[in-house]
Amino acid sequence: MEEDELGRGSEIIKETLDRPSILKNEAALSIDYIPANLPHREEKLRFLAQLFRFTLENPGSMNQKVLITGKIGTGKTAVSQRFGTDLVKIAKSRKINLRYIHVNCRECRGSLFLILKRALAEFVPSFPQRGYSSEELLQMLMDVLDKNNAFVILALDELESLIRAEGGTPLYNLTRIQEGRLDRPMRLSLICILRQPEYLKRLDSSTIGTLQHNIVQMDPYSIEQLTAILEDRVRLSFREGTAPDESIRFIAELASTTGDARYAIELLWRSAKYADAEAKRELEPEHVRKAVSAVYPTIRGDYVKSLSRQERITLLAITRALESSGSAYVTMGEIEKAYRIVCEELRETPRAHTQLWKFVRELSASGIIEAKKSGKGIRGRTTMVGLTMTSASAMRKWLEFSFAGQDKEPRKEFF
């Protein structure tokens, strides 16, 4: 019986793999894929080019610090990587040794040491693993750049993680490194990518002023813009005639509630998978509806995993309060009651009201929850909090499993 079941399983797998797909290049639907064209972000690329034109016209004459900010799925990372990659190619054609180094601060656990180690590895792959402070690594990086007559644009993605872990000192050192090198070329420029601007308040005033001098604000995409983005990805990834305009527009409409291009592209990919599973020759609206039930736009595992323990506790309290009330939104008072119960269960000391409010604001800024002022029907003025784009019960279950140590990654039945 077991052999028959295994044999039938092999047949199913073979039949599936032998069946033609409506996709011709699935990689173009990957979240990590950076297309040659970025629809409706051309203006941002032009602005960055103006800010960094000195790099090509007079290398070493100055350095630059740029802050790119915006909600999830607004193209922050894509614009930075596309700009950096293309600028390096142009610099190479002009015999300028320019490197663009993109580092995700969350992946480096918010450690400046690990960030600088990655940067140094671009020039010295066998660099020693230990024995240096981050300040020493920064000075070594500058020495290596001098030795190689090189220039670096260091992009710090998810900057919140660095500020949260080490405060403002790392950014202060990075923005001030040139002050001790007045007789040498300026070789290090920064692109800081930040989802939650309120984290800047944790920096000293001079560093804030430096970063806010050049801000690239990414606004959420409209339906028309999302449609253009999806059409571009369809051209790259789908076989001709397999993705009707109706289905593409449907996806754009669903994603327009948040303006999140990542969510739109993820829906497009998963919809195609449902179409392939049913051996359909084109993407249908029903495939999109199935994808919606499996993909949530604002709460994905990678974002939840990046939260601090207290932020997760706050989020768990919010989900429980929402489930208990049966309403779309709950008040801060309801959240605070649930928060104290969660803290008691987890043997955590509950934070004061002002700190809890800060956690709620940060969750709202990241797009994980929605917070708004109360309207009619609510006595007094208070903040109303909701999860408008995902299931409170699904999030609550995953968080409880996470705290119990039973889940390292989000479980598919929850997300």
The sheet with strand 98-104 has its strands ordered as 98-104, 151-157, 188-194, 65-70, 215-218
Longest dimension (CA), the chain: 79
How many C-beta neighbours within 10 Å does residue 123 have?
17
Distance of CA 334 to the CA centre of its chain: 30
Q: What pLDDT is attached to residue 258?
A: 86
Q: Which residues, other chains included, contact 330 with Cβ-Cβ below 8 Å and sequence gap of 6+? A: 318, 321, 322, 384, 385, 386
Does the pTM exceed 0.75?
A: no
Instruction: Work out the burial of residue 155: count CB atoms within 10 Å of its CB; fewer than 13 is exposed, 13-18 middle, 19 or more buried.
Output: buried
Distance of CA 109 to the CA centre of its chain: 15
Please answer whether residues 328 and 389 qualify as being in contact, where contact means their C-beta atoms are separated by less than 8 angstroms: no
Residues contacting 72, CB < 8 A, separation 6+: 195, 258, 260, 262, 298, 303, 366, 367
Residues 342-356: b if buried by 16+ CB within 10 A, e if exposed? bbeeeeeebbeeeeb
Coil/strand/helix, residue 75? coil
- For residue 414, the model assigns a pLDDT of 41
Helix orientation angle between 159-166 and 169-176, rounded to the nearest 10 degrees: 110
Backbone angles phi, psi at 339, to 5 degrees: -65, -45
So what's the pLDDT on residue 14? Answer: 67
pLDDT in tens, the chain (415 residues): 454 555 666 776 666 666 789 999 999 999 889 999 999 999 999 999 999 999 999 999 999 999 999 998 999 999 999 999 999 999 999 999 999 999 999 899 899 999 999 999 999 887 766 678 999 999 999 999 999 999 999 999 999 999 988 999 999 999 999 888 888 999 999 999 998 888 888 888 888 887 878 999 999 999 999 999 999 999 999 999 999 999 999 999 989 988 999 999 999 999 999 999 999 999 999 899 888 867 654 455 556 667 889 999 999 999 999 988 877 789 999 999 999 999 999 999 999 999 999 899 888 876 678 787 765 555 556 788 987 556 677 788 888 888 887 544 444 444 4
Structure tokens at 271: 């919809």
Distance of CA 300 to the CA centre of its chain: 10
Q: Specify the pLDDT at position 345.
A: 94
Domains along the sequence of the chain with CATH: 42-218 (3.40.50.300), 221-294 (1.10.8.60), 301-403 (1.10.10.10)
CB-based contact 174:138 (threshold 8 Å): yes
User: How far apart, in whole angstroms, are the C-alpha atoms of residue 284 and residue 332?
Assistant: 42
